[in-house]
């Protein structure tokens, strides 16, 4: 068995791009030579998993990353790893267990996905940025000195932000009728939304680094190349419709209410996401500029217009 670069969450928002980028650069990277890429999925029948299994130098394993142990990592000779955790209330318990196993197994380097830099604080109103802050604090402790790591702090993902606009356009094209366009952004608060594929590409470049120590304990901020507002999204939609949008609900958090209703977790905890939206509405989504290392290695180029076009399949 060869030394392994592990991708946990390979079929998720950013993981797919990590695997694709590693496979693409495999033969050109001296770091990857003699290694193998292992992508984890909870189901081999997942269409994304099936796609990844066709890529050169990639093996896909059916394994839930939350059940990974120190022994599993040693058995599979994992030397570097990527992890994009879920954002459920038990995130800290499960992700910290993974990092502890990595430390004990002698994994050399881990790249993880955090959340928007403006929110990663111990006093964040929303629960999951506090979890990310706690994970970064744990990894930065003296006890974890032997494990090198980098935490990526991407802004709001384009697909999360623009999916309602894409569905609104599709519905109008099919029926000629308009529902209410529900947008999580405020009308005029700018946010540097970023394509998750570009976050994955940068993560893969870090995993390919000959000397990851230059990125050890770094927290890199990733924004898209352009800011967007709710008002600008409406204008983009109207260009596709060739008509005026009749009803818009800005700062719409109805999706969070639906999450809370469907969850078995504390409703108060889930609804804290709504209280955490203030930084986006107030324009703080542009408060932290993209880190220079990101711009040097894999500068984001996909604009909100590019992302909406992709969501429409055009």
Domain assignment present for 310: no
Q: How confident is the model at residue 262 (pLDDT cuts 50, 70, 90)?
A: confident
Domain assignment present for 307: no
- What pLDDT shows up at residue 54? 96
Shared-domain flag, residues 112 and 216: yes
More confident residue, 314 or 168: 168
Shared-domain flag, residues 91 and 149: yes
Shared-domain flag, residues 118 and 179: no
How far, CA to CA in Å, does 301 sit from each of 159, 195, 262?
A: 15, 9, 36
Sheet of 58-62: strand order equals 58-62, 36-41, 4-8, 78-83, 109-113, 148-154, 218-222
Please state the separation of Cα 31 from the chain's center in Å. 24
HEC states along the chain?
CCCEEEEECCCCCCHHHHHHHHHHCCCCCCCCCCCEEEEEECCCCCHHHHHHCCCCCEEEEECCHHHCCHHHHHHCCEEEEEECCCCCCCHHHHHHHHHHHHHHHCCCEEEEECCCHHHCCCCCCCHHHHHHHHHHHHHCCHHHCCCEEEEEEECCEHHHHHHHHHHHHHHHHHHCCCCCEECCCCCCCCECCECHHHHHHHHHHHHCCCCHHHHCCEEEEECCCCCECHHHHHHHHHHHHCCCCCCEECCCCHHHHHHHHHCCCCHHHHHHHHHCCHHHHCCCECCCCCCHHHHHHHCCCCCHHHHHHHHCCC
271-310 per-position pLDDT tens digit: 899 888 888 888 877 878 999 999 999 999 999 999 999 9
Average pLDDT in the 94-101 region? 98
Shared-domain flag, residues 56 and 165: no
Q: How confident is the model at residue 90 (pLDDT cuts 50, 70, 90)?
A: very high
Domain assignment present for 309: no
Average pLDDT in the 27-44 region? 88
Shared-domain flag, residues 149 and 246: no
198-248 per-position pLDDT tens digit: 999 999 999 999 999 999 999 999 999 999 999 999 999 999 999 999 999
The total of structural domains in the chain comes to 2
Domain assignment present for 207: yes
Domain assignment present for 294: yes
Shared-domain flag, residues 122 and 217: yes
Domain assignment present for 314: no
Shared-domain flag, residues 37 and 134: yes
Shared-domain flag, residues 257 and 124: no
- What pLDDT shows up at residue 28? 78
* Burial bucket for residue 102 (CB in 10 Å: 0-12, 13-18, 19+): buried
How far, CA to CA in Å, does 104 sit from each of 2, 79, 110, 187?
A: 19, 12, 13, 48
112-131 per-position pLDDT tens digit: 999 999 999 999 999 999 99
Domain assignment present for 311: no
Rounded to whole angstroms, the Cα distance separating 17 from 200 reads 5
Average pLDDT in the 30-58 region? 93
Q: How confident is the model at residue 264 (pLDDT cuts 50, 70, 90)?
A: confident
Shared-domain flag, residues 143 and 10: yes
Shared-domain flag, residues 105 and 130: yes
pTM of the entire structure?
Answer: 0.95
Shared-domain flag, residues 25 and 164: no
50-86 per-position pLDDT tens digit: 999 999 999 999 999 999 999 999 999 999 999 999 9
CATH of the domain at 77: 3.40.50.720
Domain extent, residue 259, equals: 158-190+226-281
Shared-domain flag, residues 18 and 142: yes
Rounded to whole angstroms, the Cα distance separating 314 from 146 reads 47
Closest CA to 35 of 89, 86, 78: 78
């Amino acid at each position: 068995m060869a030394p392994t670069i592990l991708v946990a969450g390979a079929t998720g928002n950013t993981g797919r791009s990590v695997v694709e980028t590693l496979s693409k650069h495999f033969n050109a990277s001296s770091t990857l030579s003699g290694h193998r890429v292992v992508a984890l999925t909870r189901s081999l029948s997942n269409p994304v998993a099936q796609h990844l299994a066709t890529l050169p130098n990639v093996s896909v394993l059916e394994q839930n990353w939350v059940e990974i142990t120190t022994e599993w990592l040693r058995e599979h000779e994992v030397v570097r790893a990527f992890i994009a955790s879920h954002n459920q209330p038990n995130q800290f318990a499960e992700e910290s267990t993974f990092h502890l196993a990595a430390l004990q197994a002698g994994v050399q380097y881990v790249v993880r996905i955090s959340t928007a830099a403006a929110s990663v604080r111990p006093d964040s109103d929303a629960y999951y940025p506090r979890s990310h802050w706690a994970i970064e604090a744990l990894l930065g402790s003296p006890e974890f000195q032997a494990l090198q790591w980098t935490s990526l702090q991407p802004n709001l993902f384009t697909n999360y932000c623009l999916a309602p606009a894409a569905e609104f356009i599709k519905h109008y094209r099919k029926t000629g009728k308009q529902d209410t366009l529900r947008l999580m952004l405020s009308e005029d608060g700018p946010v540097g939304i970023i394509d998750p594929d570009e976050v994955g590409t940068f993560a893969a470049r870090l995993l390919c680094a000959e000397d990851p120590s230059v990125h050890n304990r770094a927290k890199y901020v990733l924004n898209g190349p352009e800011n967007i507002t709710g008002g600008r999204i409406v204008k983009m939609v109207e260009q596709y419709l060739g008509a005026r949008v009749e009803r818009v609900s800005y700062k719409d958090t109805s999706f969070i209410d639906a999450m809370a209703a469907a969850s078995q977790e504390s409703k108060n905890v889930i609804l804290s996401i709504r209280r955490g939206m203030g930084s986006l509405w107030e324009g703080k989504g542009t408060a932290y500029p993209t880190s220079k290392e990101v711009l040097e290695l894999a500068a984001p180029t996909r604009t909100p217009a590019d992302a909406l076009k992709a969501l429409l399949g055009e």
